[in-house]
């Protein structure tokens, strides 16, 4: 298969339409970042047709050659890492430093290389005189990837890398809030990949709906809100598509009474405020025993005061704006409702609504009712409710009572006790003395209405493959 040549112009120039297109503005400054082309449903149909036509040839390429292509794509990303990080910071708002833009681009490289190293071998299920059964893992065909605006590059890679590794072709529909980041990512990847194995289709909701319903798309991979996920599931039902759905979360963290507040404060803070709280598997509600409550609150305030928020391209900042105005309003409304309920604001909670950019100050909320809206509804922004408990069983009950269950965490010093509490939590992943610590080798997915299917590692490869048993 022929690999495309790499153009020499800047990425932003290469991905923008010659004229027209929809303007994308920096959520930190309001400045114009660039323009994105808007594909139509007809364009989507053409893209799927190209991907379908190319897929058998890509599937016929050896596993080793596909691994080499992913590694070459990783090298191409490394060569453009700073340019990609700057574009990501301008479009999404996240700072260059901290667990943000440069981190995200680096994670894309790591995930490509890790996925290239995984090999899904046939499994001998039965081998005896009566017969032999071998389970093989075949490509599905065309995978439709629908991504979010919070980690637009990294989550796209989570969808793209395993799909390509297993011989599928991929059609990507990026979020309308952050299309430029994903278009630039795919522009770079395609300098190392054969033509038409990976195609981007930026566009409105009708394009995403058609992708979900398209009869020639074998699987949909979606990361985003539970509400949108339910709509996609319904749309895809008529063609009985395979699906991986990583949906909304409202992750609970439980601090045990033997924890060391000062030692854990930094990790708890960044578990909650990574990407300024705009992460599906961020810590979004923290349960703290009465005996440690004041110490934990004080330690978290200290970390917050030392974590500057501002324009992403300014090197000192590690927290940025909320990516878009609707999400900013959700955060503002939830914090306002907490204030009205009598909760105590430890820091933040007083946004300047006339300021440039969608900045919401880092906010810690104490003395809050465990069933207040800021606790029970996903804020997806820089606000953390800290709930006091006196009975551990009650805290576990509170942690488990919501309809979403993506991640959770337990914080303490006794390994046996933290393991016991972790086993009682309902979630796709539970971390001990950390939160959101994903690894490309370790399966990741949700429970309850946080979705189904898993990503990463060998298990993730199986999710983008058709099991095929041959028995003789």
Classify residue 2: in a domain, yes or no.
no
User: Which three-class secondary structure state does DSSP give residue 258?
Assistant: coil
| C-beta separation of 284 from 272 below 8 A | yes
Residues with Cβ within 8 Å of 401's Cβ and at least 6 positions away in sequence, in order, are none
How much is the pLDDT for 9?
61
Concatenating the DSSP letter of every residue in 402-467 gives SSEESEEEEE-S-HHHHHHHHHHS-SSEEEES-SS---TTS-B--EETTEES-BSHHHHHHHTEEE
- Residue 238 has a CB neighbour count (10 Å cut-off) of 10
Classify residue 460: in a domain, yes or no.
yes
Do residues 241 and 262 both lie within one domain? no
Scan for tokens 């992403």, then name that residue.
Answer: 312
CA angle 191-197-200, nearest 5°? 80
Q: Could you tell me the CATH number of the domain that includes residue 369?
A: 3.40.309.10
Classify residue 351: in a domain, yes or no.
yes
Q: Could you tell me the CATH number of the domain that includes residue 125?
A: 3.40.605.10
Do residues 331 and 224 both lie within one domain? no
Classify residue 6: in a domain, yes or no.
no
User: Which three-class secondary structure state does DSSP give residue 218?
Assistant: coil
Neighbour-count burial for 122-160, b at 16+ CB within 10 Å, e otherwise: eeeeeeeeeeeeeeebebbbbbbbbbbbbbbbbbbbbbb
| C-beta separation of 338 from 374 below 8 A | yes
Do residues 177 and 222 both lie within one domain? yes
Classify residue 380: in a domain, yes or no.
yes
Helices H, strands E: what count in the chain? 16, 20
Pair of tokens at residue 293: 């409550």
Do residues 180 and 238 both lie within one domain? yes
User: Cα separation of 33 and 294, whole Å?
Assistant: 44
> What is the domain extent for residue 355?
251-432
Classify residue 319: in a domain, yes or no.
yes
Do residues 187 and 270 both lie within one domain? no
Strand partners, 244: 221
- If you count them, how many residues does the chain have? 472
Do residues 376 and 269 both lie within one domain? yes
Do residues 50 and 171 both lie within one domain? yes
- Residue 318 has a CB neighbour count (10 Å cut-off) of 22
The alpha-helical segments, DSSP class H, found in 314-391 are 325-340, 373-376
Do residues 188 and 332 both lie within one domain? no
Classify residue 438: in a domain, yes or no.
no
User: Which three-class secondary structure state does DSSP give residue 139?
Assistant: strand
User: Cα separation of 88 and 101, whole Å?
Assistant: 6
pLDDT tens over the chain, length 472 residues: 544 444 446 999 999 999 999 999 999 999 999 999 999 999 999 999 999 999 999 999 999 999 999 999 999 999 999 999 999 999 999 999 999 999 999 999 999 999 999 999 999 999 999 999 999 999 999 999 999 999 999 999 999 999 999 999 999 999 999 999 999 999 999 999 999 999 999 999 999 999 999 999 999 999 999 999 999 999 999 999 999 999 999 999 999 999 999 999 999 999 999 999 999 999 999 999 999 999 999 999 999 999 999 999 999 999 999 999 999 999 999 999 999 999 999 999 999 988 899 999 999 999 999 999 999 999 999 999 999 999 999 999 999 999 999 999 999 999 999 999 999 999 999 999 999 999 999 999 999 999 999 999 999 999 999 999 999 9
Classify residue 129: in a domain, yes or no.
yes
User: pTM to 2 decimals?
Assistant: 0.95
Stated as kind and residue range, the H or E segment containing 35 is strand 32-36
Nearest to 94 by CA among 153, 43, 164: 153
Do residues 262 and 175 both lie within one domain? no
Count the domains in the chain: 2
**Residue numbers annotated as active site:** 246, 280
Do residues 165 and 286 both lie within one domain? no
Residues with Cβ within 8 Å of 220's Cβ and at least 6 positions away in sequence, in order, are 143, 144, 145, 146, 211, 212, 232, 236, 241, 242, 243, 244
Do residues 392 and 411 both lie within one domain? yes
User: Cα separation of 432 and 426, whole Å?
Assistant: 14
User: Cα separation of 442 and 439, whole Å?
Assistant: 5
| C-beta separation of 368 from 413 below 8 A | no
Do residues 216 and 273 both lie within one domain? no
User: Cα separation of 460 and 119, whole Å?
Assistant: 11
């Amino acid at each position: 298969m022929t690999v495309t040549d790499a153009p020499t112009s800047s990425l932003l120039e290469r991905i923008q339409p010659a004229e027209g297109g929809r303007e994308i503005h920096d959520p930190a400054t309001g400045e114009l970042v660039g323009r994105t082309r808007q594909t139509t449903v007809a364009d989507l149909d053409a893209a799927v047709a190209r991907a379908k036509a190319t897929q058998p040839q890509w599937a016929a390429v050896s596993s080793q050659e596909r691994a080499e292509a992913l590694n070459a794509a990783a090298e191409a990303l490394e060569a453009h890492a700073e340019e990609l990080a700057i574009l990501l910071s301008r479009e999404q708002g996240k700072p260059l430093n901290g667990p943000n833009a440069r981190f995200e681009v680096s994670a894309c490289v790591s995930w490509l290389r890790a996925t290239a190293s995984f090999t899904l071998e046939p499994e001998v299920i039965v081998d005896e005189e009566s017969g032999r059964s071998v389970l093989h893992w075949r490509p599905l065909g065309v995978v439709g990837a629908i991504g979010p605006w919070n980690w637009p590059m990294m989550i796209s890679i989570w969808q793209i890398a395993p799909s390509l590794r297993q011989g599928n072709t991929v059609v990507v529909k990026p979020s309308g809030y952050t299309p430029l980041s994903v278009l630039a990512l795919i522009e770079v990847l395609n300098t190392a990949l054969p033509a038409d194995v990976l195609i981007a289709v930026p566009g409105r909701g009708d394009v995403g709906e058609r992708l979900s319903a398209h009869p020639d798309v074998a699987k949909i991979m979606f990361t985003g809100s539970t509400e949108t996920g339910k709509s996609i599931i319904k749309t895809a039902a008529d063609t009985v598509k395979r699906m991986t759905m990583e949906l909304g979360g409202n992750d609970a963290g439980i601090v045990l009474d033997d924890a060391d507040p000062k030692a854990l404060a930094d990790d708890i803070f960044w578990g909650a405020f990574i990407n300024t709280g705009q992460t599906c598997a961020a810590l979004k509600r923290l349960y703290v025993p009465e005996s440690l409550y004041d110490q934990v609150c004080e330690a978290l305030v200290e970390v917050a005061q030392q974590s500057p928020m501002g324009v992403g391209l300014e090197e000192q900042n590690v927290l940025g704006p909320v990516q878009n105005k609707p999400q900013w309003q959700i955060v503002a409304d939830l914090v306002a409702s907490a204030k009205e309920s009598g909760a105590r604001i430890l820091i933040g909670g007083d946004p300047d609504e006339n300021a440039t950019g969608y900045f919401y100050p880092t906010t810690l909320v104490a003395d809050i009712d465990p069933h207040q809206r800021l606790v029970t509804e996903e804020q997806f922004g820089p606000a953390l409710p800290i709930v006091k408990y006196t009975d551990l069983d009650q805290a576990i009950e509170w942690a488990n009572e919501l309809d979403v269950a993506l991640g959770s965490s337990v914080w303490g010093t006794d390994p046996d006790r933290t393991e016991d509490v972790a086993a009682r939590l309902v979630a796709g992943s539970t971390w001990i003395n950390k939160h959101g610590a994903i690894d490309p080798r370790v399966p990741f997915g949700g429970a309850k209405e946080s979705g189904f299917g898993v990503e990463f590692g060998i298990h993730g490869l199986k999710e983008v493959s058709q099991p095929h048993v041959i028995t003789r």
